[in-house]
Structure 1
Amino acid sequence: MIAAPIRLAIGGALCLAAAMGIGRFVYTPILPFMVENVPLAPSQAGLIAAANFLGYLVGALAGSFGHLPGSKRNWMLGALFASAVTSAAMALGSGLVVFCLLRFLGGFASAFVLVFASSLVLEDLARAGRANLSALYFSGVGCGIALSAVLIAALSHSAVGWQGLWLASAGTTLLLLLASALLVIKEAPPEVSSSQTAAAQTEVETRQPAALYRLIAAYALFGFGYVITMTFISVIVREDPALSGLEEIVWLVVGLAAAPSILFWNKIASRTSASMAFSIACIAEALGVALSVSGGGAMIILLSAALVGATFMGITALGLMEARKLSTGDPRRILAIMTASFGLGQVIGPWLAGYLHDMTGSFQSASFAAAISLIIAAGLSFRRKAR
Structure 2
Amino acid sequence: MSRQNRIRLILIGFFIQLTTMAFGRFAYTLILPDMMRSLGFSVTQMGILGMGIVVGYLINSFFSGTLSSRFSEHRVVKISMIALSIALFCLGYFSHFVILLAAAILLGSGASGSYIPLVALLNISFRERGKAFGIVTGGAGVGIMLCGYLIPPILSHFGEYGYRTAWYTLAVINAIVFLSSLFFLKKEPAQEKVEYHLESGRSFFSLYRGNKSLILISIIYFLLGFSYIIYATYFGAYAIEE
Q: CA offset at residue 156 of structure 1?
A: 2.1
Question: CA separation in 2, counterparts of 1:124 and 1:67?
Answer: 16
**Aligned twin of 1:117:** 118
**Aligned twin of 1:225:** 227
CA contact 2:20–2:81 (8 Å) conserved in 1 = yes
**Aligned twin of 1:107:** 108
Is 1:175 equivalent to 2:181 in the alignment? Answer: no
**Aligned twin of 2:37:** 36
Larger radius of gyration: 1
Question: CA separation in 1, counterparts of 2:68 and 2:77?
Answer: 15
Question: Any residues of structure 2 matched to 1:148-159 within 5 Å, and which?
Answer: 148-159=147-158
Structure scoring higher RCO (CA < 8 A, sep ≥ 6) equals: 2
Question: CA separation in 2, counterparts of 1:149 and 1:113?
Answer: 22
CA contact 2:68–2:117 (8 Å) conserved in 1 = no
Is 1:95 equivalent to 2:105 in the alignment? Answer: no
**Aligned twin of 1:86:** 87
Question: CA separation in 1, counterparts of 2:192 and 2:165?
Answer: 44
Question: CA separation in 1, counterparts of 2:239 and 2:185?
Answer: 38
Amino acid at match of 2:216: R
Instruction: Assess, with a 3 A threshold, how the Cα gap between structure 1 residues 17 and 67 changes in structure 2: closer, same or farther.
Output: closer
Q: Provide, for residues 97-155 of structure 1, a one-character-per-residue CA deviation record: whole Å limited to 9, x for no partner.
A: 121111011111111111111111232123xx454222101101111112222221232
Q: CA offset at residue 62 of structure 1?
A: 1.1
Q: Provide, for residues 241-261 of structure 1, a one-character-per-residue CA deviation record: whole Å limited to 9, x for no partner.
A: xxxxxxxxxxxxxxxxxxxxx
**Aligned twin of 2:239:** 237
Question: CA separation in 1, counterparts of 2:85 and 2:193?
Answer: 34
**Aligned twin of 1:213:** 215
Amino acid at match of 1:133: A
Question: CA separation in 2, counterparts of 1:122 and 1:68?
Answer: 15
**Aligned twin of 2:204:** none
CA contact 1:14–1:177 (8 Å) conserved in 2 = no
Amino acid at match of 1:75: V
Question: CA separation in 2, counterparts of 1:186 and 1:65?
Answer: 17
Secondary structure at 1:89 match in 2: helix
CA contact 2:65–2:117 (8 Å) conserved in 1 = no
**Aligned twin of 1:14:** 15
Question: CA separation in 1, counterparts of 2:68 and 2:26?
Answer: 30
Question: Any residues of structure 2 matched to 1:4-83 within 5 Å, and which?
Answer: 4-65=5-66, 68-83=69-84
Question: CA separation in 1, counterparts of 2:132 and 2:232?
Answer: 26
Q: CA offset at residue 69 of structure 1?
A: 2.6
Q: Provide, for residues 224-280 of structure 1, a one-character-per-residue CA deviation record: whole Å limited to 9, x for no partner.
A: 11111111112111332xxxxxxxxxxxxxxxxxxxxxxxxxxxxxxxxxxxxxxxx
Instruction: Assess, with a 3 A threshold, how the Cα gap between structure 1 residues 94 and 66 changes in structure 2: closer, same or farther.
Output: closer
CA contact 1:16–1:114 (8 Å) conserved in 2 = yes
| TM-score (ref. length: structure 2) | 0.84
| TM-score (ref. length: structure 1) | 0.54
Amino acid at match of 1:212: L
Secondary structure at 1:65 match in 2: helix
Amino acid at match of 1:109: G
CA contact 1:122–1:131 (8 Å) conserved in 2 = no
Question: CA separation in 1, counterparts of 2:29 and 2:181?
Answer: 24
Secondary structure at 1:185 match in 2: coil
CA contact 1:5–1:130 (8 Å) conserved in 2 = no
Secondary structure at 2:126 match in 1: helix
CA contact 1:11–1:181 (8 Å) conserved in 2 = no
Question: CA separation in 2, counterparts of 1:64 and 1:70?
Answer: 10
Q: Give the gaps of 5 or more residues in structure 1.
A: 193-204, 241-387
Question: CA separation in 2, counterparts of 1:140 and 1:146?
Answer: 10
Question: CA separation in 1, counterparts of 2:68 and 2:97?
Answer: 35
Question: Any residues of structure 2 matched to 1:210-359 within 5 Å, and which?
Answer: 210-240=212-242
Q: CA offset at residue 181 of structure 1?
A: 3.1
**Aligned twin of 1:197:** none
Amino acid at match of 1:222: L
CA contact 2:68–2:76 (8 Å) conserved in 1 = no
Question: CA separation in 2, counterparts of 1:67 and 1:143?
Answer: 27
Task: State the number of aligned residues.
Answer: 224
CA contact 2:87–2:107 (8 Å) conserved in 1 = yes
Question: CA separation in 2, counterparts of 1:37 and 1:25?
Answer: 20
